């Protein structure tokens, strides 16, 4: 087989999707038909998840039902908790803990299937024995996975610190409950809003590596949970979900406004990259950076370390000026990671939880893409070009065997 290899599949269009669309030249991200800047700061996470899964924003009843369905499924199976305790003793990274724990969630999803009613609604009524359809299995797994991801991340963070687990509060929405389980105290309205905005902003982003991974797995007619576990593995890599930590560390290392210019110059003179700047697709400003910048501005008005916020703004301005000077014409702008770092830090989320927290939002996008791929039912199977040796002599080891 011969043919032109497109390294990294760059520029290859591999799917049609109604979930989200990215226009890098226009600096635009459309999520379920809405501009991210119009949607993310106003909606709850449940509303945007419904939009991506069902194709339209929910009415008040549908919103309430999804909120309840997720709240009812937050508790973790005992085996999952046991695994998290062992992982904490072994000092595993939070992303490894999430990947391993997510793999156990089929246990609770299978149990929940017994509570589907005939129309596939989640009413809690006991159904007589029957084999659930693939669609029902997918929908139940989608709810269980989405509901339990925050419980895994928060429980693991507390176990890692040697603290007791905080059980979920069914009265709180998805975003607020995550902050509650993490810290043990209910978040303020400003913190809840910031968390909702963050999750909505990162919920989907075209055919990124983890989303593609999920679609490949579903395309083999495998189950949804397997697709999500694979996607976590892809997100874990530093080229995908791992950049916000270093962006914050850079601001901390600079320390004060007067050090911003000399330190950034030093980094650029040494050929280093400035973390939180530049993007493969966005050549004007990343719209997600704008949404999160506005969310950070609102949050730091009442919460968090105001001096750090002001330092970050100064670092951003100096970095943009120097990047234009050092890399003219490269159009290097602030990316989503810079303001992710600032916003999550303002929510008192530790740096090592930034990537798992990203997964709490992105999981709803993975699920929406998996539903699309399931409906398409077409195996994803590209080709490769063989570059190894041809027609070697038979190995002597085989002849003697």
Name the catalytic one among 205, 279, 345, 369. Answer: 279
Contacting range for ligand ACO; rule: CB under 6 A; set: 51-59, 134-142, 249-257, 273-281: 273-281
- Is residue 245 a contact residue for ligand ACO (CB under 6 A)? no
Report how far residue 171's alpha carbon sits from residue 206's, in angstroms, rounded to the nearest whole number.
33
- Is residue 330 a contact residue for ligand ACO (CB under 6 A)? yes
Report how far residue 221's alpha carbon sits from residue 223's, in angstroms, rounded to the nearest whole number.
7
Please provide the DSSP assignment of 288-326 as one string.
Answer: HHHHHHHHHHHHHHHSS-HHHHHHHHHHHHHHHHHHHHH
- Is residue 22 a contact residue for ligand ACO (CB under 6 A)? no
Tokens of 316: 């951003």
Report how far residue 373's alpha carbon sits from residue 264's, in angstroms, rounded to the nearest whole number.
44
Contacting range for ligand ACO; rule: CB under 6 A; set: 74-82, 83-91, 176-184, 324-332: 324-332
Contacting range for ligand ACO; rule: CB under 6 A; set: 120-128, 250-258, 269-277, 383-391: 269-277
* Contact in structure between 103 and 229 (CB atoms under 8 Å): yes
- Is residue 275 a contact residue for ligand ACO (CB under 6 A)? yes
Tokens of 118: 């005939």
Name the catalytic one among 174, 205, 337, 345. Answer: 337
Nearest Cα residue to 195 out of 215, 210, 174: 174
Shortest gap between Cβ of 211 and ligand ACO (angstroms)?
12
Report how far residue 147's alpha carbon sits from residue 6's, in angstroms, rounded to the nearest whole number.
38
Shortest gap between Cβ of 34 and ligand ACO (angstroms)?
20
Binding residues for ligand ACO, total number by CB under 6 A: 15
- Is residue 335 a contact residue for ligand ACO (CB under 6 A)? yes
Strand partners, 20: 31
Select 132 or 326, whichever has its Cβ closest to ligand ACO: 326
Shortest gap between Cβ of 336 and ligand ACO (angstroms)?
5
- Is residue 266 a contact residue for ligand ACO (CB under 6 A)? no
Q: Coil, helix or strand for 199?
A: helix
Q: Has 272 been annotated as catalytic?
A: no
Query: Contacting ligand ACO (CB under 6 A), which of 332, 359, 360, 368?
Result: 332
Select 123 or 330, whichever has its Cβ closest to ligand ACO: 330
- Is residue 273 a contact residue for ligand ACO (CB under 6 A)? yes
Query: Contacting ligand ACO (CB under 6 A), which of 53, 198, 277, 309?
Result: 277
Tokens of 315: 């670092």
**DSSP-assigned letter for residue 277:** B
Select 201 or 219, whichever has its Cβ closest to ligand ACO: 201
- Is residue 235 a contact residue for ligand ACO (CB under 6 A)? no
Q: Has 279 been annotated as catalytic?
A: yes
Q: Coil, helix or strand for 161?
A: coil
The strand order across the sheet containing 20-23 reads 20-23, 28-31, 34-35
* Contact in structure between 335 and 286 (CB atoms under 8 Å): yes
- Is residue 248 a contact residue for ligand ACO (CB under 6 A)? no
Report how far residue 104's alpha carbon sits from residue 96's, in angstroms, rounded to the nearest whole number.
13
| Catalytic (active-site) positions | 279, 337
Contacts to ligand ACO by CB under 6 A: 243, 273-280, 327, 330, 332, 335-337
């Amino acid at each position: 087989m011969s043919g032109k290899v497109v390294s990294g599949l760059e520029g290859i269009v591999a799917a049609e999707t109604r979930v989200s669309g990215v226009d890098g030249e226009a600096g635009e991200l459309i999520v379920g038909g809405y501009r991210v800047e119009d949607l993310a700061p106003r909606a709850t996470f449940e509303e945007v998840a419904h939009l991506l899964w069902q194709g339209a924003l929910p009415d008040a009843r549908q919103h309430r039902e999804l909120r309840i369905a997720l709240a009812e499924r937050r508790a973790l199976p005992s085996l999952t908790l046991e695994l998290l305790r062992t992982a904490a003793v072994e000092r595993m990274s939070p992303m490894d803990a999430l990947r391993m724990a997510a793999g156990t969630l089929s246990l609770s999803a299978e149990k929940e299937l017994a509570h589907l009613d005939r129309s596939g609604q989640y009413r809690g009524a006991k159904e007589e024995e029957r084999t659930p359809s693939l669609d029902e299995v997918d929908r139940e797994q989608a709810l269980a996975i989405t509901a339990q991801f925050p419980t895994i991340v928060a429980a693991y963070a507390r176990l890692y610190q040697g603290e007791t687990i905080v059980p979920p509060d069914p009265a709180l929405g998805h975003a607020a409950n995550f902050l509650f389980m993490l810290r043990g105290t209910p978040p303020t309205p400003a913190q809840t809003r910031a968390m909702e905005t963050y999750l909505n902003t990162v919920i989907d982003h075209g055919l990124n590596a983890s989303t593609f991974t999920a679609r490949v797995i579903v395309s083999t007619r495998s189950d949804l949970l397997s697709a999500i576990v694979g996607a976590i593995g892809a997100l874990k890599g530093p080229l995908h979900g791992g950049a916000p930590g270093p962006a914050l560390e850079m601001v901390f290392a600079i320390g004060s406004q007067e050090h911003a210019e000399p330190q950034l110059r030093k980094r650029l003179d040494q050929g280093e990259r400035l973390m939180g700047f530049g993007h493969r697709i966005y050549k004007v400003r990343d719209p997600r950076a704008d949404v999160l910048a506005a969310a950070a501005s609102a949050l730091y008005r009442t919460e968090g370390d105001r001096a750090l916020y002001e330092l970050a703004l100064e670092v951003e301005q100096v970095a943009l000026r120097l990047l234009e000077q050092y890399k003219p014409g490269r159009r290097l702008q602030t990316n989503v990671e810079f303001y992710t770092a600032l916003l999550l830090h303002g929510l008192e989320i530790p740096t090592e939880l930034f990537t798992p927290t990203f997964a709490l939002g992105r999981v709803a996008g993975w699920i929406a893409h998996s539903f699309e791929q399931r409906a398409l039912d077409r195996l994803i199977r590209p080709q490769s070009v063989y570059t190894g040796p041809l027609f070697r002599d038979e190995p002597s080891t085989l002849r003697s065997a």
